[in-house]
Structures are given as structure tokens and as C-alpha cells.
Structure 1
């Protein structure tokens, strides 16, 4: 009898995808970040080997690396799976990002060049237009690009490594937050404030703008949780009364 198919089937990577220069761990990481691999999904070495045209030892090493990053976990007698992040842990991750990203924003304000100022301002224009047009996918992509560019401009390589790892662990919470009605209208104003303060080379204001943005993210995450709990409460009460 053949092996049962996973509900989230892995599709073989194309030649172009395999030749991008991204290592195996990086490719699996990207599948987790973009939601192609979901929390608690089993990561079967044979399937990954076939998907990426890689050897089993190479897959094993990639999973070991991602386990160290907190994206994958090993379960006794079950193998590897995408690690699910609890709400409390998601809040802790966002709080850690607040400290690191505020540092990067301040450093970016000190280090930014005239060419980079023009780049960030153009990026802000695209983000504003995306929100006005209701293009959530474009806005989400540019949101991530802005944060990446701020980190890169800051020159804080250690902080950048830590932030990427933390953000990867929190990707599902970020997706849920992005789908919250009206969130993009709030978020874009915060991002434009980050751009404006960095571009005028005001370190303290840039740090404060980034901190305010992450504080807003944390508050919105609490709101999403409260809404979810409120929706489940009536159902639980009905079940208890039946």
C-alpha cells in the first residue's frame, strides 16, 4: 500500500527555485514563513528529499538547523513538525522585537544615506497606495521589505539575525493580525512615521516611532485574542447547558 498523502501536499521545486542560491534550510524556512507549511504539520524527510531533490542527510541537517531556530520541533516517535507558537510566547517575541527593532531604527537614522532616504520615501508611497487600494498582499510584502531595509541600513548584523529568527517564529500571529479589518489603516500611519523620523535622521524619534508601532502590534494581538475568546464563550456556555 502506498504512503498516505499529507493534507498539505509538498510540490517539487522548479529549476528556477532550486537555483536561487538559497540553501535547503532557507527554502524550508521560506515555506514556513509564507504559510506553505503550517503549524504542527509533519515534516517527513522522504517527502522533503523528493520535493527539493536533496539527500536525506541534507534534509536532516536542514531540519536540525531550523529546530535550533525554533521553527521546527522534534516529537518522540513522530519525527519533525512545524512548531506551533502559543499566544503568550507570541507576545514575548513581539516584546523582544520591540527592543531590537527600536535599536535598529535609531541606528538607521544615524547611518542613512541620501539615496536610502529616497528609497524609504518611495517605499512609503507604495505602502500608502496599497492600503488605499485595499491590496493587502502588496502591503504585507512592502511592510516586511520596510522592516528589512531599516535593519539593513542600521548595520546591526547581530540584531538582524535575531529579528529574522523571532519574526519567523511569529509568522502565523502576524498573518492573523494582518487580516484584522482596519489594521492596515493604523499600521501604515505608524510605518510612515518610522520612515519620516529615520529620513530626518532623528535617532530618538525613530526609536520612539518603532517602539510605538510594536506597542500597537502587541495591543492588536491582545484584541485579536479577546475577540476569539468572546466568539468561543457562547458556544462553551451552550455546551455546558445541554
Structure 2
């Protein structure tokens, strides 16, 4: 392979990892499903070497598991493990919420206030898909405002691992009417520049997720 081709493959690699990750999180690849390099290569129009590297990246994130002499498959996350992930997230997200409240600027606050109203509208309309997207955007903004690179990196990995269970919870009866006000409370605390209130609201929200996960069949 020429140096130019290697450089091109290297530059495309993060995108391929993102695309395969997206397929796993959206359910295109099911838990325990074998990930055959030739099939993925054809699906994403990528080289076998690029696919192999992407799968290694995703194994490092905990989304894929390598099988001795059998390639790779989508790693299944049990409810028990999902609960542990949320418990770990709790400390990290409290930290990010606290720092976001300390760091938020007037410009940031205006954007958060707009997002708050979008969340309220989605809840009132019963728009589950829209609400889920806004929820992800809120989480992203809090992490961004925190300015804590290490916590952000860890949280992004943990969110990816528990995404399937989060999706199940999003459609749990009455979940949106409960979690919507919880998210709004987090935003309100950040807007008030109250670190303790932001951390408390975040902890209460995640404790609710743990309770719901423990009730899943």
C-alpha cells in the first residue's frame, strides 16, 4: 500500500468506526451478532484492514468483543451491567453538571434556555423521538460546558455501552413525563449557576434510571 493510500485510509478510519458504532447502537447489528469483516467491508465500502481496525476500536469501547479464532461479535450488555454503568456515570455526570453551573456564560445560558423550552414542548406533545434527541443534546452541552475532557471521554464511552437499555427506558410507560421535569431541573440549576443544585438534580435523575433498570424483565 502506498503512503498516500495509507494516509487516506487513516483519515477515513474514525468515520468508519463512527458508522459501525451507529449501526450497533441503532440496532442494525443485534447483541451477540457475528461481525463478519467481509460483509461489513461490502456494506460500508471499506477495506478489510480498515474494518478490522474499526472493530478493534469498538472492542476498546466495550461495544464489540473479539472471539478467539472466530472474529468478533456485538457485545451484549446485561441489565446488571447497565445498572453498574449508570452508577459510575452518576459521579461523572454530577461533576460535569457542577462544573457546567460554574462555567456557563450568558451566551451559553441563552442556548440552554432555548433547549429547555424545546424539551418542555416535546414532553407536552408526547414526542418520544424528538425528546430522545433533545436529551442527548442536553447531555452533550452539559459535558461541553463542564470543560472536563477526561470526564467527557469516559461518559461518551459509558453512554455508548448503555445506549440499548436507555432506548428501552425511553419508551417505558410514563417515562417521558417523569424524566422531562428532571432534565429541566438540571438545566434550571445550571442556569441559576448553582453547582450543588445541578449535582443534586443530576443524581436524582440517574437514581431514577437505576430504579427503572432494576425493574426491567
State which drifts further: 39-48 or 189-198: 39-48
Q: Of residues 157, 163, 168 in structure 1, which corresponds to 2:160?
A: 168
In the TM superposition, 1:141-156 aligns within 5 A as 141-156=133-148
Q: Aligned partners of 2:76 and 2:104: how far apart in 1? A: 37
TM-score by length of 1: 0.82
> 1:22 Cα shift?
5.2
Residues 143-192 of structure 1: per-residue CA shift (max 9 Å, x gap): 01100110011101111110011111111111111110100000001000
> 1:201 Cα shift?
0.5
SS in 1 for 2:204: helix
8 Å contact 2:13–2:54 — kept in the other structure?
Answer: no
Q: Aligned partners of 2:13 and 2:110: how far apart in 1? A: 29
Q: Of residues 7, 13, 25 in structure 2, which corresponds to 1:33?
A: 25
> Would you say 1:96 and 2:88 are equivalent positions?
yes
> 1:41 Cα shift?
1.6
SS in 2 for 1:125: helix
- Greater helix content: 2
**CA 1:37–1:159 in structure 2 vs 1: closer, same or farther (change >3 Å)?**
same
Query: Unaligned 5+ residue runs, structure 2?
Result: 1-11
User: What is the number of residues matched between the two proteins?
Assistant: 207
Q: Aligned partners of 1:146 and 1:37: how far apart in 2? A: 27
Q: Of residues 131, 134, 140 in structure 1, which corresponds to 2:126?
A: 134
Q: Aligned partners of 2:93 and 2:144: how far apart in 1? A: 11
Between structure 1 and structure 2, the one with the greater Rg is: 1
> Would you say 1:105 and 2:97 are equivalent positions?
yes
Residues 112-162 of structure 1: per-residue CA shift (max 9 Å, x gap): 111111111111111111111111000001001100110011101111110
> 1:99 Cα shift?
0.6
State which drifts further: 147-156 or 76-85: 76-85
> Would you say 1:200 and 2:192 are equivalent positions?
yes
Counterpart in the other structure of 2:174:
182
RMSD: 1.6
SS in 2 for 1:23: helix
Hey, which bits of structure 1, 4+ residues long, moved more than 6 A?
A: none
Counterpart in the other structure of 2:70:
78
Counterpart in the other structure of 1:60:
52
> 1:48 Cα shift?
1.1
Q: Aligned partners of 1:195 and 1:132: how far apart in 2? A: 17
> Would you say 1:211 and 2:203 are equivalent positions?
yes
Q: Aligned partners of 1:199 and 1:34: how far apart in 2? A: 32
Query: More relative contact order in 1 or in 2 (CA 8 Å, sep 6+)?
Result: 2
Counterpart in the other structure of 1:232:
none
